[in-house]
Structure 1
Amino acid sequence: MTKFRPCIDLHAGQVKQIVGGTLDSSTDALKTNHVSLEPAGHFARLYRDHDLRAGTLSCWGPRTTRPPLRRWPPGQGACRSGAGSTTGTPGFTSYLFPEGKFSQERLDAVLHSLDGDKQKLVIDLSCRRRGEDRWFVAMNKWQTITDMEVNQETIKQLEPYCSEFLIHAADNEGLQKGIDETLVQRLAEWCSIPVTYAGGGRHLEDLDLVAKLSGGKVDLTIGSALDCFGGSGVKFDDCVAWNNKS
């Protein structure tokens, strides 16, 4: 069944909610919806206290490293690393695409570093829409379009190597303009392993919409719209309640 999944997005050492299309190397071009006064550990503790699992930790920009979020007992599956990570961590995008081209050798190396255990690996396929209902993996802070189209063929190619996919719709990220409904539907059709969609969530009803569009196969991350991140569209407590009733 569809679940609400929490997130922690770090940029330059701070927890932020960023408009995805502006996430480039220029600080002047960066647009944020919210910069939290609380550290990442605060949100890790919040998610732990509400038994929210399988969240994502994404690290962007200078002076941003993966913090030691030791808020859950070992093996409880609280928070996975996501975009901005490299080999040796549970999830990433750019590392798999040197010079914008997919590297099977690098994927093999990552899995080897995890002792061949695909259950420890979540692949982040952050993507941008190109043309009519086509999406391509985007790397380098979502500014560089790679040679990999996100479709049934590539999903089936990667599934044997990971336990789950994280899909950021970068064109919707941070805009609170609604989810990419077609992409959610396609992910439900293509994926036979768990998949979490992120990008554009703005109402609690988006959880119902994702559940309907995907037949309960796709989970949803909501960021900028959440009240705990300065948003007004969705209450964090309502998301917790939604999970508990589903």
Structure 2
Amino acid sequence: MKFRPCIDIHNGKVKQIVGGSLTDRGNQATENFVSDLDAAWYASKYKNDGLTGGHIILLNPESSEYYAADVAQAMAALKAYPGGLQIGGGIHPGNAMSFLEAGASHVIVTSYVFKDGSIHFDNLENLCRVVGRNHLVLDVSCRRKGDDYYIVTDRWQKFTSVKMNLETLERLAPYCDEFLIHAVDVEGRASGIEKPLAALLGSFQARPVTYAGGVASFEDLRILKELGMNWVDVTIGSALDLFGGPVAYDRVKNLGADDEVAL
């Protein structure tokens, strides 16, 4: 298990939000942290610390008046750390190559592939042709409904009918290089990880997997490492001291490189 850093951009600023609170109407979200520093500062820090495989997420839709400001922040971050960061948020064949050419290692996709309640394999195949499987990360972020997890889209606002399970991951694996999974019900809440989801991800090792959501302590990281079979990587947002939380970045950044650090 290693630490994957993040840069979330909303209304033109680096933020940490409560994931389930994000709405398109009025560009609203419940904010945990709003940074005075720009995305390029965080990208440079991650580069200097040798962290790879992190991601930028654009949290406004293309229709938002803030989208251009989000993209400007993202482009500056990609310039600061070329090849070191992935990018997601409204990715489709019309804009994916512009981000890769700007320095993103991968594009991260949800809503273009998961829409109208189902998986659109024609869209997935089209995107693979445009960017190449090795540059594609599928964000299969999910929320619980009853006893199961379901993939959610459109900034986590809409449920699909697609269950998040081993069968789904196995069907999708041939089309992507990695998976990113936000546990949306606990995203931004620092309330502990989704243990059943972590165990599910640990049982799937056909592709690299990054988990995000609910990490609040090193005990949470220990549990994730155990349930994830030391295979599942982790992103920490609101709980990280870089974003105003209690978890020490200077300790977390060495996860995987020095397991004695942490757990």
Q: What's the TM-score, normalizing by structure 1?
A: 0.91
Match of 1:145 among 156, 159, 175: 159
1:9 has 2:13 as partner: no
Secondary structure in 1 matching 2:200: helix
CA RMSD of aligned residues (A): 1.6
Q: Which amino acid aligns with 1:81?
A: I
Asked if structure 1 preserves the Cα contact closer than 8 Å seen for 2:17 and 2:188, the reply is: yes
Asked if structure 2 preserves the Cα contact closer than 8 Å seen for 1:83 and 1:124, the reply is: no
Q: Which amino acid aligns with 1:226?
A: L
1:236 has 2:249 as partner: yes
Aligned ranges for residues 8-27 of structure 1 at < 5 Å?
Answer: 8-27=7-26
- Of stretches 162-171 and 234-243 in structure 1, the one that deviates more from structure 2 is 234-243
Q: 1:28 to 1:91 in 2, by over 3 A?
A: closer
1:190 has 2:189 as partner: no
Q: Which amino acid aligns with 2:15?
A: K
Residues 5-57 of structure 1: CA deviation (Å, up to 9, x unaligned): 10010111111101011011234852110011111111100100100100011
Match of 2:133 in 1: 118
Asked if structure 1 preserves the Cα contact closer than 8 Å seen for 2:180 and 2:209, the reply is: yes
Alpha-carbon distance in structure 2 between the residues aligned to 1:146 and 1:38: 36
Q: 1:170 to 1:83 in 2, by over 3 A?
A: farther
Which runs of 5 or more structure 1 residues have no equivalent in the other structure?
Answer: none
Match of 1:70 among 79, 92, 96: 79
Match of 1:127 in 2: 142
Match of 1:84 among 85, 90, 98: 90
Match of 1:109 in 2: 126
Aligned ranges for residues 46-61 of structure 1 at < 5 Å?
Answer: 46-61=45-60
Asked if structure 2 preserves the Cα contact closer than 8 Å seen for 1:102 and 1:147, the reply is: no
Match of 1:136 in 2: 150
Q: Which amino acid aligns with 2:230?
A: G
1:167 has 2:181 as partner: yes
Asked if structure 2 preserves the Cα contact closer than 8 Å seen for 1:155 and 1:191, the reply is: no
Secondary structure in 1 matching 2:80: coil
**Percent of residue pairs identical:** 38
Superposition deviation, residue 118 in structure 1 = 1.5
